[in-house]
Structure 1
Amino acid sequence: MRPVWLFLIAALAMLCTASPARADCFDDAAAYHRVNPLVLRAIAWQESHDHGDAVHSNADGSIDYGLMQINSIHLPVLANYGITSRTLMDPCKNLYIAAWHLRHQINRFGNTWQAVGAYHSTTPALRDQYARQIIAILRRWMLLPGQH
């Protein structure tokens, strides 16, 4: 997979359908954690179709919360910072936590598609499939070269 060199700054003009307040949260969270805001937007679309109130129960008993579908397996670590499942239902806070999680994956895998895929899973097959899904979203939005 190619590095996440991605995106021109001009592409920011083509922001998704987020409201101005949410747009600020995407950009602010991305800037704070030094991750690509367009990748965050694509993850939000993949995870919840931009629904901040999304909750999903998984077959393994875990629960995904909010806009970026933060999994309950992260709650013990997040609790050290005073973050609860209720906190995860605030779209802006959820975005900051997602950007933090993505930053951890970038620190681990480098600025690569593997890091983007690891947002979802570090299992190689699941990681790579997820990265392909994010790439496909960005291509549909005409933010990446390739087939549309």
Structure 2
Amino acid sequence: MSRFIVALYLILCGAIFFRAIIPYEAEREIAPEQRHEVQQRIKVAERERVPVPPLFGQVADEFSLQPEILNAIADHESGNNPWALNIEGRSVYPDSREAALAIIEKNQGRSYDVGLMQVNSYWIRKFGLTPAEALEPEGNLRLGAWILRYCLDRYGYNWRAIGAYHTGSPSNLPGRARAYAVKVMKKYNTLIEMSGRSGK
């Protein structure tokens, strides 16, 4: 019995020490200047707005990405439907921006993904954005590109970063993260071949 108590004590001490060294949300801490930068990127002036297809190239340049990787994620996540939603695992495809916003309003308090890049409500709240701002194709693409750049900078240009875009971290649901990355990279490779460019 005493061995069991000692073992339990050691496990509890280890868990407390681990949590003290590595806070639960450590890898998602966003500095105030990063929050401000993202908000400014989302609120693009009307004169700077361009149609969505050319915007992939523009946003890719802004974040030092290839447009093919943004296209691959948008295609996989939403089928390039700017009003696509996912409410706690249930995909919904409204016919208009207004219909999409009405569904979001009805499901406030739940986890949801919005737009071309299926940005999760966690990030929308994290950056102090409204659902309307995050749903706009231009803003949604920039927000998705920021999240992807964040993942690439943290995990490297590999499947772990692509998987983290979907699950938040490659260690969170690793099987799901890897499967997501495989599907996205397959689309990416196809787009790279079509463009006649070699991948990074």
Measured against the shorter chain, the TM-score band is: 0.7 to 0.9
- Once the two structures are superposed, residues 88-112 of structure 1 have per-residue CA deviations (whole angstroms, 9 ceiling, x without a partner) of 1111110000000000001110122
Equivalent positions of 1:49-128 (< 5 A) are 49-59=79-89, 61-79=110-128, 83-121=129-167, 122=169, 123=172, 124-128=174-178
Report the TM-score when normalising by structure 1: 0.75
1:78·1:84 contact (CA, 8 Å) conserved in 2? no
- Once the two structures are superposed, residues 21-61 of structure 1 have per-residue CA deviations (whole angstroms, 9 ceiling, x without a partner) of 21221111111111221010000000000000111101593
Task: Write out the 4+ residue segments of structure 1 that deviate beyond 2 Å after TM superposition.
Answer: 138-144
1:53·1:67 contact (CA, 8 Å) conserved in 2? yes
More helix by percentage? 2
Q: Is it true that 1:47 corresponds to 2:90 in the alignment? A: no
RMSD between aligned residues: 2.0
Aligned residues: 122
Once the two structures are aligned, what percentage of the paired residues are identical? Answer: 30
Runs of 5+ in structure 2 lacking a partner? 1-49, 91-109, 195-200
Return the index of the structure with the highest Cα Rg: 2
2:59·2:141 contact (CA, 8 Å) conserved in 1? yes
Residue of structure 2 aligned with 1:29, choices 59, 77, 86: 59
Post-superposition offset of 1:141: 4.3
3-state DSSP of counterpart to 1:64: strand
CA distance in 1, matches of 2:57, 2:130: 23
Runs of 5+ in structure 1 lacking a partner? 1-19
Report the TM-score when normalising by structure 2: 0.56
